[in-house]
């Protein structure tokens, strides 16, 4: 009869038993998963509260460029009212400018200006907004883009806040 090796006597723990998971342990891990889902929901609420806290201060006017920086039909991105909050400035005509938040009101993708259609376009889900007033022209976005209040001071363009 074959003798078992000496190491088996020294380490008598079976690997099969090591990897065995009871139903109770599995159920406990499900509760951990439930906890993780709750934490994710809580994190969204916390981020929302932080954003509201950051926005609590008055929005200050900001110089965003000069008239000659943009040709007719061109657009440029600028951060307003704070860094990391992109907006899009569009030159519609010789004397007409419009600026909107660049975050699509559907799921937050950045919108782009399409000169040939005179529309702002969200490539994620084919959303379109009028470049004149930011209203939804087509696609899934539920609300117009927030519009930036612009003022001209000589050849300077200033953002004064968001229009209600």
Chain residues that interact with another protein, rule: CB under 8 A: 22-24, 26-28, 30-31, 33-35, 37-38, 40-42, 44-45, 47-48, 103, 105-108, 142-143
Contact between 150 and 157 under an 8 Å Cβ cutoff? The reply is: yes
Cβ-Cβ contacts under 8 Å for 161 (sequence gap 6 or more): 59, 61, 81, 148, 149
Give me the sign of the Cα torsion angle 48, 89, 111, 128: positive
Count helices and strands (H / E) in the chain.
Answer: 3, 10
Minimum distance, C-beta of residue 99 to another protein, in the bound complex (Å): 17
Minimum distance, C-beta of residue 26 to another protein, in the bound complex (Å): 7
Nearer to another protein, 91 or 103 (CB): 103
Nearer to another protein, 6 or 56 (CB): 56
Cα–Cα dist 131/69, whole Å: 19
Minimum distance, C-beta of residue 120 to another protein, in the bound complex (Å): 16
Minimum distance, C-beta of residue 7 to another protein, in the bound complex (Å): 34
Nearer to another protein, 49 or 77 (CB): 49
Burial (CB count <10 Å: 0-12, 13-18, 19+), residue 111? buried
Helix (H, G, I), strand (E, B) or coil at 140: coil
Minimum distance, C-beta of residue 61 to another protein, in the bound complex (Å): 23
Nearer to another protein, 45 or 56 (CB): 45
Nearer to another protein, 96 or 108 (CB): 108
């Amino acid at each position: 009869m074959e003798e078992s090796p000496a190491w088996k006597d020294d380490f008598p723990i079976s690997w099969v038993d090591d990897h065995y998971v009871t139903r109770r342990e599995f159920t406990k891990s499900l509760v951990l998963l439930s906890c993780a889902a709750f934490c994710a929901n809580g994190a969204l609420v916390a981020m929302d509260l932080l954003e509201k806290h950051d926005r609590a201060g008055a929005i200050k006017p900001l110089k965003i460029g000069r008239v000659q920086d943009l040709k007719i039909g061109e657009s440029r991105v600028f951060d307003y009212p704070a860094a990391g909050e992109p907006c899009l400035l569009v030159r519609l005509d010789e004397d007409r400018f419009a600026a909107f938040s660049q975050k699509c009101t559907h799921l937050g993708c950045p919108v782009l200006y399409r000169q040939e259609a005179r529309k702002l376009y969200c490539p994620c889900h084919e959303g379109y907004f009028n470049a004149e007033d930011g209203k939804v022209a087509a696609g899934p976005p539920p609300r117009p883009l927030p519009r930036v209040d612009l003022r001209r001071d000589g050849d300077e363009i200033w953002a004064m806040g968001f229009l209600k």
